[in-house]
């Protein structure tokens, strides 16, 4: 099993101590920025809870039936969709009968079947029934709901009942990168485990340990505003090249060498328009921070940052993407047009 990153280990250790001292709540909310590995920590904790013969320090043995069943599960992607649209390893039925996973289930009532955008009440009801059963391997039952903010209102209300009637040896863990979207009633009944961005140097060291070149690691960390998980994902997906392309495009618009409609079309020609706008917004923010001696420029760049984020939201609606982007690019040119 791979080592946890330092920021994951910090959270894991805290929860493990609470668990060992009998202070770990029935309901847990693992929250913090996306891509910091919250789910992985939840699964490691489940391993600790479910292992039948923990070794010194309470760590799972890796050899018992529970540990082996959990390993069997972790080798398969739980959201892998088979060609017929069914999940190869449906959520809620992992190899270990005492680990229950609830996520975006596949809706078979639509053709072709596709994952639902919300976690619905039937899933939570089924979870409640499962949680009421005796653990099959003795120690406990753990349910992980990920992403927690996908619970719709009815599902959240149903979950509240389960949270309000804690049963010993039953754990209900929610994973959420936007916990504010969860109902306050749910949040208040969960013990919070918060993931935070690590210090810059720690993030850099971690990226180097993942095998990235120092200069690229630095650039990615800059682009991701210090978020190592994001930087890693971007390095893997070649997003730095895209960021350079976006910067080049913005310079061309500012300097007048590129036409806004042509660039807008290029930006909207594939499924990365939203990502380009996000990168553009971040570039504007970085430039705003670098021009603090020029308050007018700082203000207009900050305003453009907001505008770019709003445009990104608009892309998810039915408006014509290229028209939204043209307006945004013309606004960028206006930001850089110097009076007189």
Residues that bind Zn ion (CB under 5 A): 51, 60-61, 64, 67
Q: Which residues are 142's β-sheet partners?
A: 99, 171
Q: Which is closer to Zn ion, CB of 46 or CB of 174?
A: 46
> CB of residue 99 vs Zn ion: minimum separation in angstroms?
13
- In eight-state DSSP terms, residue 143 is E
SS3 50: helix
| Cα–Cα dist 145/42, whole Å | 10
SS3 87: strand
Q: Which is closer to Zn ion, CB of 61 or CB of 247?
A: 61
> CB of residue 41 vs Zn ion: minimum separation in angstroms?
18
Q: Which is closer to Zn ion, CB of 61 or CB of 242?
A: 61
Q: Which is closer to Zn ion, CB of 61 or CB of 266?
A: 61
| Cα–Cα dist 306/60, whole Å | 47
> CB of residue 72 vs Zn ion: minimum separation in angstroms?
13
- Residue holding tokens 């800059």? 222
- In eight-state DSSP terms, residue 25 is -
| Cα–Cα dist 153/129, whole Å | 19
> CB of residue 146 vs Zn ion: minimum separation in angstroms?
23
Question: Where would I find the H helices in 51-196?
Answer: 65-74, 121-132, 153-164, 184-188
Q: Which is closer to Zn ion, CB of 141 or CB of 227?
A: 141
| Cα–Cα dist 34/176, whole Å | 8
> CB of residue 46 vs Zn ion: minimum separation in angstroms?
12
Phi, psi of 116 (to 5 degrees): -70, 150
> CB of residue 76 vs Zn ion: minimum separation in angstroms?
19
In the chain, where do the E strands start and end?
27-31, 99-102, 106-107, 114-115, 141-145, 170-176, 191-194
> CB of residue 30 vs Zn ion: minimum separation in angstroms?
22
CA 259 to chain centre: 36
Q: Which is closer to Zn ion, CB of 40 or CB of 327?
A: 40
Q: Which is closer to Zn ion, CB of 27 or CB of 54?
A: 54
């Amino acid at each position: 099993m791979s080592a946890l990153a330092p920021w994951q280990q910090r959270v894991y250790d805290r929860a493990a101590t609470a668990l060992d001292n009998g202070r770990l709540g029935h309901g847990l909310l693992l929250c913090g920025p996306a891509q910091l590995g919250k789910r992985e920590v939840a699964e490691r904790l489940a391993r600790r809870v479910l292992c039948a013969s923990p070794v010194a320090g309470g760590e799972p043995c890796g050899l018992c039936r529970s540990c082996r069943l959990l390993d069997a599960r972790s080798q398969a992607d739980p959201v892998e969709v088979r060609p017929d649209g069914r999940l190869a390893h449906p959520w809620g039925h992992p190899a270990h009968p005492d680990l229950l996973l609830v996520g975006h289930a596949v809706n078979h009532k639509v053709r072709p079947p596709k994952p639902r955008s919300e976690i619905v009440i039937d899933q939570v009801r089924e979870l409640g029934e499962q949680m009421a059963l005796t653990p099959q391997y003795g120690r406990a039952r753990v349910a992980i709901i990920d992403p927690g903010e996908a619970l719709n209102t009815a599902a959240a209300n149903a979950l509240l009942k389960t949270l309000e009637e804690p049963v010993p040896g039953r754990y209900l863990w929610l994973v959420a990168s936007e916990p504010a979207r969860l109902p306050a009633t749910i949040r208040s009944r969960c013990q919070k485990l918060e993931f935070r961005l690590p210090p810059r140097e720690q993030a850099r060291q971690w990226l180097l340990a993942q095998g990235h070149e120092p200069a690229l690691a630095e650039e990615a960390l800059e682009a991701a505003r210090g978020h190592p998980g994001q930087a890693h994902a971007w390095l893997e997906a070649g997003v730095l090249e895209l960021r350079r392309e976006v910067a080049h495009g913005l310079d061309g618009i500012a300097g007048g060498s590129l036409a806004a409609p042509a660039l807008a079309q290029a930006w909207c020609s594939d499924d990365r328009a939203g990502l380009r706008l996000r990168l553009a917004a971040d570039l504007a923010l970085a430039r705003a921070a670098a021009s603090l001696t020029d308050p007018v420029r700082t203000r207009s760049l900050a305003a453009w940052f907001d505008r770019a984020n709003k445009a990104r939201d608009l892309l998810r609606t039915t408006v014509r993407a290229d028209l939204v982007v043209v307006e945004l690019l013309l606004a960028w040119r206006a930001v850089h047009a110097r009076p007189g």
